[in-house]
Amino acid sequence: MNKTWWKEAVVYQIYWRSFFDSNGDGYGDLQGVLSKLDYIKSLGIDVIWLNPFYKSPDRDNGYDISDYYGIMEKAGDMETFERLVEAIHERKMKVIMDLVVNHTSDQHPWFVESRSSHDHPKRDWFIWKDPKLGAEPNNWRSYFAPSSWEFDEGTNQYYFHSFAVEQPDLNWKNPELRQEIYKMMRFWLNKGIDGFRMDVINLLAKIDDFPDAENPYDISYLANNPGIHKYLQEMNEEVLQHYDVMTVGEIPFVSPEEGLLYVDETRGELNTLFHFQVADEMLEWDMKRFKSIQTSWYQGLKQKGWNSQFLNNHDHTRQVTRYGNDGEYREESAKLLATMIHTLPGTPYIFQGEEIGMTGVRFASIDDYNDIAMRNKYHEEVNKGRDPKEVFEGLLLLSRDNSRTPMQWNGNKEAGFTTDKPWIKVNPNYQEINVEKALDDLDSVFYYYKKLISLRKDNEVMVYGDYQDLSLNEENLYVYTRTFKEVTWLIVLNHSDEKQMFIFPEEYRNKSKRKIISNYKSENELEDECLMLLPHEALIFEYK
Ligand code: GLC
């Protein structure tokens, strides 16, 4: 398998609006990111992924774009962006941007023109259909709405939207539209960015005749439709292959077999992907299932394509809250999950604040929430006559706002994020969990991440090692090896609140080994046959 910088990299995701507010308007901004680059660099980060900051009415926090060439006022301006790119490069880091080309905002001039009349040349840049028997053209739901169709009174047709009503889908069948997108990608690449995180990129192609779905709630009909690989290959030929960049596709609803089609190095589409068999499809931690997902993806992509590792991002509740322990063992749990993500095959992603073990939130009322997905779902269910309190409770754990609360910099008002009222409330635990505290404590989650990241730089086994699960049937223990040339790492994780006995597999018994890292201060003796693991204990041993 070829060695490349993006396989060796650790990526840090910045949800800029919640990162640092430099001008006191309650929103984070690009200048705020710039002012914190030394912090990010000090962690050892190689690549920064910035969530979208294009011009946008901001109904879906920047994923509804009204001008692909402009910068949202809240975020800053082009000059600041250019300075930011330069400052990132000066620090020997790279930066990738979100590319959102499945849909635009309904305020985008392309859509405004498209909806203006049936025969406007841009009519075909979006997806328009006549009503079927006076109603929606089919029964499909969208991610954020009960139907994926919205009626336009002016022209008596429906337009298609995979997300909110305010996010009409582009029609990728139209070659002119595709060229316009490629032009826009070149514009940003020529500004020196190092790649793209591609928003729901496997949704670009639609099923031609839009047949009714048997189960409209299973919205996988939105993804992986015929034509998608042709578009991505064309995008690669026209744009990507002319630059030394990385691409990571957000690819919901894929199996490893299908996933390989997107990232197979011989096919010229994408470099890597985020699949959602964990974050979307595994609601609660399920160790056996997680292991089988890891094994099947490893086998499926082996020697051919590259994976990504993450457990949370701006759409998914913080990992210690959702999959770990955010109470008594918060720090141990945060370190264990980090050990796992950084030693499984694929490029690891850190979502801002994860490196200090930030947790999810439970605000008191729906009015405290901003997430359009949650709010729309809340209103849909309440309108059906369900008890509002029950609906609200049911939405709390997975609300996307769990991860969107401001970065906790210190114990001051608003966690040092802003001097104004933040656009979304700060997590009330900021006095206990914040960057300043983490930096003052050499045993903090922060320094553990820093160590893991620096290990990746010095140990190819962590990047390129073969993977083998030695614990398929264990409920709480996850034990696996990575092997590269003559080096083997044995990773031992006790993902539970109880002590667990770990017996070394036969071939690792009574053999000399070196402890690479552990998340407990207390020295767990280097026993040769078995270990009593503490709750959420994580260990890596090296054998040569
Ligand atoms: C992706 C983004 C999410 C957004 C959606 C629509 O899933 O990560 O935040 O709402 O696409 O663009």
pLDDT at 521: 83
pLDDT at 523: 63
Number of the ligand 1 atom closest to the C-alpha atom of 163? 6
Ligand 1 centre and the CA of 199: distance in Å? 6
Angle at 435 between CA 431 and CA 438, to 5 degrees: 90
Ligand 1 centre and the CA of 200: distance in Å? 7
CA atoms within 13 A on the CB side of 36: 27
Ligand 1 centre and the CA of 292: distance in Å? 27
Alpha-carbon gap, residue 376 to 57, rounded angstroms: 17
> Which residue, by CA, sits nearest to atom 1 of ligand 1?
199
| The residue type at 1 | M
Enter the CATH code of domain 109-160.
3.90.400.10
* Pocket of ligand 1 from Cβ distances under 6 Å: 60, 63, 100, 163, 199-200, 250, 314-315
Residue range 85-98, pLDDT digits in tens:
999 999 999 999 99
CATH fold of 464-543: Immunoglobulin-like (2.60.40)
> Which residue, by CA, sits nearest to atom 6 of ligand 1?
63
Enter the CATH code of domain 5-104+175-451.
3.20.20.80
Q: State yes or no: pLDDT of 159 exceeds 90.
A: yes
Name the residue of 56, 60, 308 whose CB sits within 8 Å of the most ligand 1 atoms, as the mutation to test its pocket: 60
Q: State yes or no: pLDDT of 525 exceeds 80.
A: no
pLDDT at 528: 82
Ligand 1 centre and the CA of 198: distance in Å? 10
> Across 37-133, where does the E strand assignment appear?
47-50, 54-55, 67-71, 94-99, 128-129
End-to-end CA distance of the chain: 22
pLDDT at 510: 87
Residue range 398-437, pLDDT digits in tens:
999 999 999 999 999 999 999 999 999 999 999 999 999 9
Active-site residue numbers?
Answer: 199, 250
Do the Cβ atoms of 488 and 460 come closer than 8 Å? no
What is the residue extent of each domain of the chain?
5-104+175-451, 109-160, 464-543
Name the residue of 13, 17, 163, 400 whose CB sits within 8 Å of the most ligand 1 atoms, as the mutation to test its pocket: 163
**Mean pLDDT value of segment 265-282:** 97
Q: Do 109-160 and 464-543 fold alike per CATH?
A: no
Number of the ligand 1 atom closest to the C-alpha atom of 373? 10
Ligand 1 centre and the CA of 314: distance in Å? 9
pLDDT at 484: 98
> Which residue, by CA, sits nearest to atom 12 of ligand 1?
63
**Mean pLDDT value of segment 391-395:** 97
Query: pTM here?
Result: 0.97
**469 CB-contact burial (10 Å; exposed 0-12 / middle 13-18 / buried 19+):** middle
Number of the ligand 1 atom closest to the C-alpha atom of 372? 10
Q: State yes or no: pLDDT of 331 exceeds 80.
A: yes
Residue range 163-204, pLDDT digits in tens:
999 999 999 999 999 999 999 999 999 999 999 999 999 999
